[in-house]
Structure 1
Amino acid sequence: MTRLLGDPQPPDTAPAVTGREEERLARVLLNRVSEPGDAMVGRWLAGLPAAALVRAIRDGTVPDHPGLDATRLAGYQARLPGLDPAGDLKRVQDAGGRFIIPGDTEWPSQLDDLGDGRPIGLWAAGTGSLRLLALRSVSVVGSRACTAYGAHVAGELSAQLAERGWVVVSGAAYGIDAAAHRGALAVGGMTIAVLACGVDVAYPKGNATLIRRIGVQGLLVSELPPGEHPNRFRFVLRNRVIAALTRGTVVVEAAVRSGALSTARRARDLNRHTMGVAGPVTSAFSAGVHALIRSGAATLVTDADEITELIGAIGEDLAPQRTGPVLPRDLLEPAVARVLEAVPATAEGAPIERLARQAGLPPDEVLQKLYELGSLGFVERHGAHWRAVRRR
């Protein structure tokens, strides 16, 4: 049986480990002992080194807490025997991965916003620094059973964001998640997949090729140790990491009971920008997004410019002003436009005196403006009257 951290070490039988290495090994072990987001373990770690907590769990001397009972402590203790944290580290390191813990230069400090629910550590496989990549990242999430419209929008938004230098984060699931990753990869962008299983497990199997590609071109991240498989609760807990890691969350398509809405709610609770893409009002797959927008919990966005305006640098990532086509009459000076508004489109037209009263200008000035408008083809003269020309 592998020696547990905190057990007496026989003299001259094993190399000494540094305090940092001991902390890492202890957190790997705690990663096996507890489930993601375990607030009890999180509270203990706020006041105890991980190695000391492992010893306390083994000896049954952990600090008292109202949520701790004999059954829960026994559950932790039951998982301790046979664990091999050093083997877990080697297994992932041999595959080009690593285990990141608080205090490492690669640790994203925004995860600390999760408080007691902060990850014990994160397993990562792929290229780039997680901390640096997360500084300019946005999550794009949505339903697994998405429509063609949703997949198209998710892919387009993600490609546009990647082309603007943003890192696209999602969960590597079917539907919107997969479309978001593919959109970023298609333009040579960076994408991060936050998994609900070990980084060495390709789930879902139908996305195995995509996940392997993300591991090469992007980054795979998970709270769960190597070899672990997902379950329903791990998907929900995974969503809090996606929300905390990024600058904002975009929900492309989500039904009323979609799990993607939990990511949006966590993002809102963490004071991250929460955004939604509208879909057809007849589509049940967009009903959850519409409810978010209607309640004020999400901001309506339609393209990458509007997303980056919310999550980007103040005054620098502004979306372009949206205007309709410029019409010739929009270019007229105010006084000329007033005269044009006064000219009727009827066959008989109107004399100068009437037009001057309606425009509130002297008759001589009105006459001058009428000739300008006539040169531009807006009006025409019939005797002493002027009338508007019907423009096609």
Structure 2
Amino acid sequence: MLTASSREVRAKLTGLVTPEVLDDDGAAARHYAHAIWSCVTEPGDGVAGALIAECGVIAAVEAGLGSGGTTNAALEAGRRRWQARLSSVEDALDRARHVGARLLVPGNPDWPVRVDDLGVHAPRALWARGNVASLAGDSALALVGARAATGYGEHVTGELATHLSRRGATIVSGGAYGIDGMAHRATLAVDGVTVAVLAGGVDRPYPAGHADLLGRIARGPGVVVAEVPCGTPPTKWRFLQRNRLIAALSDATVVVEAGWRSGSLNTAGHAAALGRALGAVPGPVTSAASAGCHRLLREYDARCVTSADDASELLGAQSPAEPVTSGRTDDRTRVLDALSVRSPREPDDVARRAGFGIDEIRGLLAILELDGRARRGPEGWRRVTSPS
């Protein structure tokens, strides 16, 4: 597989997979192929997902990252952006080994089959620190909400997480400040199981102020998990893609507090699109921090959650709600994330960081320049903070 022998593959995976995988050449090759795809693609890359579904993960490596073979415009563009990241694979594996991360792939006994509902947009692999078995728990509930949470929101979150954890539910959230952090802390306080889903690599605690909290999760019965490899920084695009993973890992999602344009509505949209049950906690009508929850209740048929009993009912329900489109992003956001305000970057560097081919990135940069959000100089491209 891209010139690596069975012995070399086993060496690359040592410390990242179970001994049973290393003893099986076929399983080792499959794990390594998934790791490669995880390193060279952005989360949710449907072109890669379709190729893997058609060819199988090992054959897809040769078809997508080798030379020659049948092609089309989408696959050719994919090859250009994937091949630009091939050199990052070894570093990602080394970083994962250094922090004691586990590599999980579809078909692995600890693989959370819920995420397969994402179809061609499902993760190629998951990188985890902690008790990986907790990802496949029988009952999982996502508690999400605003970073700038109010005392009311944190109180309700703590109550829900505490009582649901005691009933055996796994609490899933995003590790952020505010509602997420309270969901994790309350679960840990009663020795419950909690899953923190990161937008960057599991070797890069984010936010930095939650490094201790994430460490406690990884050392306890829970797990810290990401679909991007170690060394990957969190960006706006990856946060939005991370939200779909939170929804997919859970049987139901409850939004505790959210502003009108909160990123938590993005998570709610993914939950609805997956047919997961969706709930929202009402708040004071005068509170901007609850405007998004009231919107979910009014416009998207979310269930009203006022107690742990209400949330428990969701775990056995399916939601007919339509996806919430607010908060979705596009390719331009990924390019802006790859640009710096201070340091000029060449198009090939921007393409590598954003996960695009060089031809795609030139077109997107040109559009951003017309919008006044990017500026080209003699040394490269910069992001413009305030369009003029």
Same fold per superposition (TM over 0.5): yes
- Say if 2:291 is the partner of 1:291: no
Name the residue aligned to 1:136: 139
Query: How far off is 1:313 after superposition?
Result: 8.8
Name the residue aligned to 2:284: 280
The separation in 2 between residues aligned to 1:140 and 1:13, in whole angstroms, is 39
Report the AA paired with residue 161 of structure 1.
Answer: L
Q: Normalized against structure 2, the TM-score is what?
A: 0.74
Q: Deviations over 1:328-376 (max 9, x none)?
A: xxxxxxxxxxxxxxxxxxxxxxxxxxxxxxxxxxxxxxxxxxxxxxxxx
After superposition, the Cα gap between the structure-2 partners of 1:186 and 1:81, relative to the gap in structure 1 and judged at 3 Å, is closer
The separation in 2 between residues aligned to 1:276 and 1:82, in whole angstroms, is 41
Secondary structure, in 3 states, of the residue corresponding to 1:120? coil
After superposition, the Cα gap between the structure-2 partners of 1:13 and 1:284, relative to the gap in structure 1 and judged at 3 Å, is closer
Secondary structure, in 3 states, of the residue corresponding to 1:81? helix
**Pairing 1:79-90 to 2, within 5 Å after superposition:** 79-81=85-87, 83-84=89-90, 88-89=92-93
Query: How far off is 1:286 after superposition?
Result: 0.7
Runs of 5+ unmatched residues, structure 2: 12-21, 319-388
Secondary structure, in 3 states, of the residue corresponding to 1:225? coil
After superposition, the Cα gap between the structure-2 partners of 1:8 and 1:145, relative to the gap in structure 1 and judged at 3 Å, is closer
Counting aligned pairs with the same residue, the percent is 43
Name the residue aligned to 1:302: 306
The separation in 2 between residues aligned to 1:238 and 1:265, in whole angstroms, is 13
1:191/1:219 contact within 8 Å kept:
yes
The separation in 2 between residues aligned to 1:158 and 1:254, in whole angstroms, is 17
Report the AA paired with residue 76 of structure 1.
Answer: W
Secondary structure, in 3 states, of the residue corresponding to 1:209? helix
Name the residue aligned to 1:105: 109
> RMSD in angstroms over aligned alpha carbons?
2.5
Q: 1:169 aligns with which of 172, 176, 184?
A: 172
Name the residue aligned to 1:261: 265
Name the residue aligned to 1:379: none
Q: 2:225 aligns with which of 198, 221, 224?
A: 221
Name the residue aligned to 2:2: 6
1:23/1:49 contact within 8 Å kept:
no
- Say if 2:132 is the partner of 1:125: no
Q: 2:81 aligns with which of 57, 70, 75?
A: 75
Report the AA paired with residue 7 of structure 1.
Answer: T
The separation in 1 between residues aligned to 2:6 and 2:26, in whole angstroms, is 18
Larger radius of gyration between Structure 1 and Structure 2: 1
The separation in 1 between residues aligned to 2:136 and 2:8, in whole angstroms, is 41
2:158/2:183 contact within 8 Å kept:
yes
The separation in 1 between residues aligned to 2:89 and 2:259, in whole angstroms, is 41
Report the AA paired with residue 170 of structure 2.
Answer: V
- Say if 2:65 is the partner of 1:58: yes
2:141/2:251 contact within 8 Å kept:
yes
Secondary structure, in 3 states, of the residue corresponding to 1:275? strand
Runs of 5+ unmatched residues, structure 1: 315-392
Secondary structure, in 3 states, of the residue corresponding to 1:102? coil
1:89/1:99 contact within 8 Å kept:
no
Greater RCO structure (CA 8 Å; 6+ sep): 2
Name the residue aligned to 1:210: 213
